[in-house]
Structure 1
Amino acid sequence: MVERVTEIGDDLAAWLLTCWVDVSNAGGAVGFLPPATAADVRPALDDHLAGVRAGAGFLAVLRVDGERAGFAFVIGSTQPLFRHWATVLRLQVHPRFQGRGAGRALLDGLTDLARADGLEFLHLTYRDGMRLDRFYESCGFAEVGRIPGAIRVAPGDDRDSVLMIRKL
């Protein structure tokens, strides 16, 4: 089950931070490279949470058997010409729940929430080289562009940033 969260308490914020660190250290492409620490991730999390608290979007939290298993941010635009679509940021499933369809459940659930908000498109980017293309395509997203070498994982290891959209 995926729930929309707009008010984030301390317990949830602490879980989000732990999840993000664990996903990063398991090799997840969520903005950090291992070894990531809570101190590394906290500023990015705080920025996303501030956006949710300001009403710029919502946090989607996946629960599996009642336990928090993953999350993503869905951030809309304040510009009138772009209010019909939103951006999915930091989609991640805790490593304990990976490989069991949890990522698809999270993406499907947040898509339903976005559709209920009257959104018509979702947009996301991912780091190439992680075999994520097949996953996102199987969830209804289509590649519409890429920025070659935009992500530097290590010296000599630059990856494309791949732009995808899904019509709702």
Structure 2
Amino acid sequence: MALTFTFDPVADPALAEGIAALWVDASNAGGAVGFASEITLDDVRPEVAKHFAAVAEGRSSLLVGRDAAGRVSAFAVIARNAHDLQAHWVWVYAVMVHPELQGRGAGRALMAAVEEAARSLDGIEAVRLGCRGGLGLEHFYAACGYKEVGRVPGAIRVAPDDDRDDITMLLPLR
């Protein structure tokens, strides 16, 4: 299923609800997208609101993938660095694809769109993201051109006695 990506879409209430619904579906299907247990729309709406506030302040941009029916089916946040010494690279957060599309190339399409969006920003030389260990996500990102540049063992506590590594991945753009 082909997705149509939009970088910096209008951040309106309908988009917020579409992102929230995707986030619930991705998380509840076992996705490592910031939550460790079953969530509801009420759980995720404050997180979406934080990202929309960062967009309104010019600190972040949204990248949204929609399916043929217009449903939000992929999402990522591209955040600029506030510190001048790090202004040449961006962070990518909240990377997710609808569970129905996993294994069908949508994740690779999203990461290609992230790269394209980052390249469109003046002065950006690299993309950096963090992922949760124990799920093989670092292998997915490596297949998209990212390199593992850091790992903090046990930094993410998913549940009692279930700590995961916090893995930092980097995609140089030049």
Q: Please, what TM-score do these two structures have when normalized by structure 2?
A: 0.92
SS at match of 1:55: coil
The answer for the alignment partner of 2:150 in structure 1 is 145
C-alpha distance in structure 1 between counterparts of 2:21 and 2:162, whole Å: 27
The answer for the alignment partner of 1:115 in structure 2 is 119
User: Which of 68, 89, 95 in structure 2 is aligned with 1:91?
Assistant: 95
- Give the drift of 1:6: 4.8
SS at match of 2:65: strand
- Give the drift of 1:66: 5.4
Equivalences for 1:3-18 in 2 at 5 Å?
Answer: 3-18=6-21
1:133 matched to 2:138? The reply is yes
- Residue type of the partner of 2:6? E
SS at match of 1:61: strand
Matched-pair contact (CA < 8 Å) for 1:70–1:92: yes
C-alpha distance in structure 1 between counterparts of 2:42 and 2:67, whole Å: 28
List per-residue Cα deviations over 1:29-57 (Å, max 9, x = no partner). Answer: 00112311112212211111110111112
- Give the drift of 1:78: 2.1
SS at match of 1:36: coil
Matched-pair contact (CA < 8 Å) for 1:60–1:74: yes
The answer for the alignment partner of 1:2 in structure 2 is 5
Sequence identity percentage: 43
The answer for the alignment partner of 2:67 in structure 1 is 64
The gaps in structure 2 that reach 5 residues or longer are none
Per mean C-alpha deviation after superposition, the further-off stretch among 54-63 and 23-32 is: 54-63
The answer for the alignment partner of 1:82 in structure 2 is 86
- Residue type of the partner of 1:25? N
SS at match of 1:65: coil
Per mean C-alpha deviation after superposition, the further-off stretch among 31-40 and 148-157 is: 31-40
User: Which of 38, 45, 48 in structure 2 is aligned with 1:42?
Assistant: 45
The gaps in structure 1 that reach 5 residues or longer are none
- Give the drift of 1:98: 1.4
Alignment size in residue pairs: 168
- Give the drift of 1:96: 1.7
